[in-house]
């Protein structure tokens, strides 16, 4: 690594070097092509997002710019996900490689930007590689949901390059490129709002502009950038407030947030210098130690004191080594939007937040190394001694993101009291049918935090799936005690009561859930079941109609609607919705049986169809191995309607033999013996 090169080859050398950085970084991250989407937000961003799944459309572009979703307004990020779906569908490996390619470009552009700003080849190269190959970058690159990091990083690097060109030549096009790149970066992720402040730092060093121009014109020059920052900040607060992503002071008091600032800064520094035990989620200490956490504990005070001392040391070096305060203030300043005073989520800090701030530390270290070590071979050896271990650890950390289970198991292994990882792993196992293992994880999460809402709610769901209704009721009640406004827990409690045949209580829970969220189709459906059990078919009909409006593809809702319509005498609707249920779910035996019964026994000949009734009744009876007496009785009625009384008698006898009450429906048997089809009243 050399800090000089021949003037006549410098441009070519810079370009070739940047290509080399990009290729090496892409090779380092190439294994992501075998990774899956994770359940850690990738469903919201890609796999279950209807706008993104539609690909790049005019409606999608309108939605991206006009709507806040997943507590964020970042239209360019949405467009990048849509473009990936348009090009690659849901090939997870292709989505991951797009992020890896963007990060590789960021490494290359980071080198170009630093070189344009400083005219120092060697330090710029080392800083760019430290940025690109550090293990703290893995979360931003290997997590599809963090496309916003690498995309905003691309525009950050372009803005720095444009500013370096502008500062040297004052051209209108370079300033226009700067403003455009910054605006695009904000549209990808608003965390980069601090760029104007970083540019002022770069004015001091390496550009030295205050000495020749003074500070006032430099501030005025950046007013358009500050205006963009203000607008982006306002939009961010709006989107996160709209989606209730900002944690309340009741959950995390101001004292706890202030105490976490030195702990978080210390965490970033510690994992930058010694990147071990990296995790997708670091629990906030105030939540891990709810009963014992003190804002002014020894760890907080120690880190606060250490940071003050470090800041003073850097300040004392400002004249001799101006790159140290620039790098340090770059690190501190760009972390300010995510340091947790305005807390979004419940993490103490996050690897992804270090994406742009880490460049400041890399800059300070690289220039310090090149200034302190004049011997080129020694300097090169020291640089490689840093880069090679970092690349090796990065390659190992990339594997952690292969799948959701790998990701959460690793987080649980390297952190304590990680209720988010425990709960997410439990949910992942639940989705794979490993219900009992999930219960153990939810119980561990609840042991770590007895107020953990999701652990309670998931225990309710798991126990409901396992058939332990009493335990399900207990945990649903606990989840509602923590979060009374949760409609899904109210719904789950209603299902418990429904299965217990406590219809009045079930109805109360479902109605309460719908007060909280009227758009829950399953709740409308189950409320319809309650009304049906209570023989209130008019009310059942309305509930099933609302379900079908919300979920037109829900076969069981069409079946329920058809049955309720039949009971109130609306046979055209009953026939229509039974047939729709069978279109949606050909194996819907209940609809097949109920429809066959109408077609075989209705007193109005316009509704009867013996051949269709036999086909449907055979289908229902075959699905249960001809062992269900109700299905056999319907088949007998269908055979009688089609004129096959001999088979009708045989099937009715089988139904009577299997029935708990052999005398039940003996009148039908006598009718078939006499050659008469059965008719309902």
Rounded to whole angstroms, the Cα distance separating 552 from 573 reads 15
**Contact indicator for 155, 185 with CB cutoff of 8 Å:** yes
Give the pLDDT confidence score for residue 664 in this predicted structure.
Answer: 61
Predicted confidence (pLDDT) at residue 208 exceeds the cutoff of 90: yes
- Which residues neighbour 392 within 8 Å (Cβ) at sequence distance 6 or greater? none
Where is the domain boundary, 349, 372, 400?
A: 400
Where is the domain boundary, 400, 427, 448?
A: 400
Q: How far are the Cα atoms of 32, 123, 157, 238, 368 from residue 3, in angstroms, in the given order? A: 33, 7, 21, 46, 13
Give the pLDDT confidence score for residue 342 in this predicted structure.
Answer: 80
Region 223-244: what's the mean pLDDT?
85
Range with lowest mean pLDDT among 236-240, 382-386, 487-491, 579-583:
236-240
Task: State the pLDDT confidence band at 24, using cuts at 50, 70 and 90.
Answer: very high
Task: State the pLDDT confidence band at 345, using cuts at 50, 70 and 90.
Answer: confident
First to last CA, the chain: 95
**Contact indicator for 601, 636 with CB cutoff of 8 Å:** no
What domain range is 94 assigned to?
7-400
Where is the domain boundary, 371, 400, 429?
A: 400
Region 273-281: what's the mean pLDDT?
96
User: Would you call 347 helix, strand, or coil by DSSP?
Assistant: strand
Rounded to whole angstroms, the Cα distance separating 379 from 362 reads 15
DSSP 33: G
Q: How far are the Cα atoms of 449, 485, 648, 649 from residue 655, in angstroms, in the given order? A: 55, 49, 10, 10
- Which residues neighbour 91 within 8 Å (Cβ) at sequence distance 6 or greater? none
Task: State the pLDDT confidence band at 495, using cuts at 50, 70 and 90.
Answer: very high
Q: Is residue 550 part of a domain?
A: no
Nearest to 362 by CA among 142, 11, 106: 106
Predicted confidence (pLDDT) at residue 2 exceeds the cutoff of 90: no
Q: Is residue 506 part of a domain?
A: no
CATH number of the domain where residue 672 is located? 1.25.40
Predicted confidence (pLDDT) at residue 6 exceeds the cutoff of 80: no
Q: Is residue 234 part of a domain?
A: yes
Inter-helix orientation angle 172-188/147-169, to 10°:
160
Q: Is residue 222 part of a domain?
A: yes
Give the pLDDT confidence score for residue 242 in this predicted structure.
Answer: 64
Q: What is the pLDDT of residues 377-423, one digit of tens each?
A: 999 999 999 999 999 999 999 999 999 999 999 999 999 989 999 99
Task: State the pLDDT confidence band at 71, using cuts at 50, 70 and 90.
Answer: confident
Region 488-499: what's the mean pLDDT?
97
Predicted confidence (pLDDT) at residue 3 exceeds the cutoff of 60: no
Q: Is residue 427 part of a domain?
A: no
Q: Is residue 248 part of a domain?
A: yes
- How many domains, in total, are found in the chain? 2
Rounded to whole angstroms, the Cα distance separating 445 from 283 reads 12
Predicted confidence (pLDDT) at residue 72 exceeds the cutoff of 50: yes
Q: Is residue 440 part of a domain?
A: no
Q: Is residue 617 part of a domain?
A: yes
User: Would you call 69 helix, strand, or coil by DSSP?
Assistant: strand
Give the pLDDT confidence score for residue 449 in this predicted structure.
Answer: 87
Give the pLDDT confidence score for residue 255 in this predicted structure.
Answer: 84
Percent of the chain with pLDDT over 70: 96
DSSP 375: -
Q: What is the pLDDT of residues 83-101, one digit of tens each?
A: 999 999 999 999 999 999 9
Give the pLDDT confidence score for residue 286 in this predicted structure.
Answer: 83
Predicted confidence (pLDDT) at residue 118 exceeds the cutoff of 70: yes
């Amino acid at each position: 690594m050399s800090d000089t090169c021949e003037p006549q080859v410098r441009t070519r050398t810079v370009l070739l070097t940047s290509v080399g950085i990009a290729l090496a970084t892409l090779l380092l991250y190439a294994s992501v092509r075998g990774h899956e989407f994770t359940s850690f937000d990738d469903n919201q961003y890609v796999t279950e997002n209807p706008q993104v799944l539609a690909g790049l459309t005019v409606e999608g572009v309108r939605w991206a710019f006009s709507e806040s979703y997943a507590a964020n307004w970042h239209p360019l990020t949405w467009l990048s996900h849509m473009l990936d779906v348009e090009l690659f569908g849901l090939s997870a490996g292709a989505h991951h490689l797009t992020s890896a390619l963007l990060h590789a470009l960021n490494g290359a552009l980071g080198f170009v930007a630093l070189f344009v700003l400083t005219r120092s080849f060697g330090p710029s190269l080392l800083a760019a590689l430290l940025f690109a190959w550090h293990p703290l970058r893995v979360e931003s690159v290997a997590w599809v949901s963090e496309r916003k990091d690498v995309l905003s990083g691309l525009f950050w690097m372009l803005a720095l390059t444009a500013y370096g060109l502008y500062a040297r030549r004052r051209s209108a096009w370079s300033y226009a490129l700067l403003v455009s790149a910054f605006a695009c970066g904000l549209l990808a992720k608003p965390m980069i709002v601090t760029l104007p402040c970083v540019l002022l730092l770069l004015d001091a060093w390496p550009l030295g502009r205050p000495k020749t121009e003074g500070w006032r014109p430099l501030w005025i020059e950046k007013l358009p950038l500050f205006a963009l920052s203000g607008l982006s900040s306002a939009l961010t607060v709006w989107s996160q407030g709209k989606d209730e992503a900002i944690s309340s002071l009741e959950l995390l008091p101001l004292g706890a947030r202030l105490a976490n600032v030195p702990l978080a800064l210390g965490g970033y520094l510690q994992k930058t210098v010694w990147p071990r035990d990296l995790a997708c989620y670091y629990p906030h200490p105030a939540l891990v130690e709810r009963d014992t956490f003190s804002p002014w504990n020894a760890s907080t005070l120690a880190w606060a004191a250490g940071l003050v001392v470090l800041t003073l040391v850097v300040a004392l070096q400002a004249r001799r080594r101006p790159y140290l305060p620039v790098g340090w203030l770059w690190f501190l300043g760009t972390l300010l939007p995510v340091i947790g005073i305005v807390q979004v989520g419940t993490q103490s800090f996050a690897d992804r937040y270090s994406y742009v701030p880490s460049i400041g530390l890399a800059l300070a270290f690289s220039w310090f190394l090149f200034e302190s070590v004049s011997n080129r071979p020694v300097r090169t050896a020291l640089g490689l001694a840093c880069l090679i271990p970092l690349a090796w650890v990065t390659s190992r950390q990339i594997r952690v993101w292969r799948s959701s289970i790998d990701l959460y198991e690793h987080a649980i292994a390297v952190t304590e009291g990680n209720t988010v990882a425990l709960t997410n792993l439990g949910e992942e196992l639940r989705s794979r049918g490993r219900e009992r293992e999930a219960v153990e994880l939810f119980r561990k999460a609840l042991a770590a935090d007895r107020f953990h809402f999701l652990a309670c709610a998931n225990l309710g769901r798991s126990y409901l799936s396992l058939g332990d209704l009493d335990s399900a009721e207990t945990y649903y009640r606990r989840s509602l005690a923590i979060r009374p406004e949760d409609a899904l827990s109210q719904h789950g409690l209603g299902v418990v009561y429904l299965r217990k045949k406590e219809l009045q209580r079930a109805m109360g829970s479902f109605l309460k859930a719908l007060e909280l969220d009227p758009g829950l189709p399953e709740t409308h459906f189950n409320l319809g079941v309650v009304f049906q059990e209570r023989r209130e078919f008019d009310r059942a009909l309305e509930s099933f109609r609302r379900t079908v409006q919300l979920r037109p593809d829900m076969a069981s809702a069409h079946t329920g609607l058809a049955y309720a319509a039949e009971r109130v005498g609306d046979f055209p609707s009953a026939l229509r919705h039974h047939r729709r249920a069978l279109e949606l779910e050909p194996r819907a035996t209940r609809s097949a049986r109920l429809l066959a019964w109408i077609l075989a026994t209705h007193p109005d000949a316009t509704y009867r169809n013996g051949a269709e009734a036999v086909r449907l009744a055979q289908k229902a009876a075959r699905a249960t191995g001809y062992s269900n007496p109700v299905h056999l009785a319907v088949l007998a009625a269908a055979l009688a309607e089609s004129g096959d009384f001999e088979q009708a008698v045989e099937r009715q006898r089988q139904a009577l033999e299997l029935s708990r009450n052999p005398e039940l429906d003996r009148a039908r048997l006598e009718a078939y013996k006499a050659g008469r089809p059965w008719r309902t009243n």
